[in-house]
Structure formats: C-alpha cells, structure tokens
Amino acid sequence: MGSALLSGCGGHKHTQAQVPPPPSLPHEKPVATPPSAETTREDEKIEVPAGAKAIFEETGIASWYGAPYHNRRGSNGEVYNMHAMTAAHLTLPLGSIMRVTNLKTGHSAVVRITDRGPFVVGRIVDLSLAAAKALDVYLPGTAKVRLEVLQSPAPLDTGGRWAVQIGSFTGEKAAAELAEHMQKRYQTAKVLKFVSPVGDWWVRVRVLDDDRQRATTLAHETETAEGSVFLVRLD
C-alpha cells in the first residue's frame, strides 16, 4: 500500500466513543397530528410514482436534529430547514427519496436526503424535526426504523465521491494533532479540520480521487484515541 492509498493512523488506539443523548426538545407543545409526509419545503411535493418499489432497504436506529443546524447550509448546498421533510444519511446519494417507517408505531413518512449524518455509532439516519414528529421520533429522541429507498439520482453501488470523517473531538488540539499527523504521513490526502455548530471538532480526509475503495480501506484501518471513524459519500 503506497501513498496513493491511505492507511490507518499509527499510534492511535481505538476507544469506545460516548454516544451523545438525543437533542433537547424545543420549548413548545409537541404537534398532536403528524405533519404531511409528502412535503419537503413548504411548497414542494415529493413525487413518487405509484407502486414504486424499494431499490435498497436498511433497518436501524433513527435520531433527529433541529437547532442549531436550522438555517445553516447542508451537504447538498441547500439551507437546512428543520420544518421540511428531509433527512441525513452517511452514504446514500444526496437527493435520494426514501420511505422511513417506525417499526414500533407503523407510521411512515417520505423524505429527501439533503445532508450527511448521523455521526454517532449505531445510528443510520438523522431526521428533520418535521420528519421526527411524523414518525414518532420527536419525543423519545430515537427509534428503530426501516429505510426504503424509492428513487436515487445516482447508482448506490458504484461511483460517487467518498471521504472519511473522524470525530468528534472535545477540543481543537486533539483534532489538529490528528489532522497534522495524517497530512504529513499521507501526502496525497486532503485533510480538513473544522468545528461543528455544536462546538465539537472534526477531521475530514479526502483520499486520492475521492475513490470509494481507498476511503473504505482508510475507514477500516484508522483507529483514534478519541472519537469514531465514518465513511461518508460527498455527493
């Protein structure tokens, strides 16, 4: 394995990352009737052909996110609106349309993937506030769900631009040290250190040509003393 293929970070040992609690609830009365599952922006409808069948399914834990991400730009370039029917996923193409079903209550909603996340081990999707209300995830904070991708603007199994995101770090120093280490050791990498809206620090590594296989290898081999490692699709 040469410099064109990133490998793990020597000297960093893996530890179990602490899972943060669900987001705090806004000081407002929860909506008794779930909002429509067919809207993304207030004036936009999700068009799904009648009888559309799932091209990909996944089961796992959903969470939701609202403020302080509301009105900030998401991964697809749009300003995130927590009152629209959207979601964040780590690896499905941005713009994909999927049906999410709460396996406990049976409630379903159709959402559009506009962002990346959740960056918490053991979770598969982060719902907008509106989607969380529609799916009974708003009050408990998390729920077991089934995802069914109905439409995607790009192939799920081939292509795409891929990277690895590492964190979160409680302080800038730890993130800076890891970023510096990786940049020096793997000179073909593009390494970015940044702070999230909630104040924790992250390191994102873009491998040569944003290649999926290289990014997957890096994600599998990287170990950190703080935080976790996530494979992320950028497009």
Confidence band, pLDDT 50/70/90 cuts, at residue 77: very high
Residue 33, φ and ψ in degrees, nearest 5? -105, 125
Question: Looking at residues 52-81, what average pLDDT do you find?
Answer: 94
- Spell out the domains of the chain, with CATH numbers in brackets: 56-151 (2.40.40.10), 162-233 (3.30.70)
Question: Looking at residues 97-113, what average pLDDT do you find?
Answer: 97
User: Given this model, what pLDDT does residue 187 score?
Assistant: 83
Higher pLDDT, 189 or 21: 189
User: Given this model, what pLDDT does residue 186 score?
Assistant: 79
Residue 204 neighbours by CB under 8 Å, 6+ apart: 163, 164, 165, 166, 191, 192, 194, 232
Any idea how long the chain is?
A: 235
C-alpha–C-alpha distance, residues 168 and 155, integer Å: 30
- The alpha carbon of residue 174 and the mean position of all alpha carbons in its chain are separated, in whole angstroms, by 22
The tens digit of pLDDT for each residue in 148-197 reads 999 999 999 999 999 999 999 999 999 999 999 888 877 888 999 999 99
C-alpha–C-alpha distance, residues 220 and 55, integer Å: 26
C-alpha–C-alpha distance, residues 212 and 77, integer Å: 22
The tens digit of pLDDT for each residue in 28-53 reads 333 333 333 333 444 457 778 788 89
User: Given this model, what pLDDT does residue 44 score?
Assistant: 59
Which 3 state secondary structure label does DSSP give 208?
Answer: helix
C-alpha–C-alpha distance, residues 225 and 167, integer Å: 10
Strands (DSSP E) along the chain, which ranges? 56-64, 86-88, 97-102, 108-115, 123-127, 142-151, 162-169, 190-195, 201-206, 228-233
**Per-residue pLDDT for 134 more than 80?**
yes
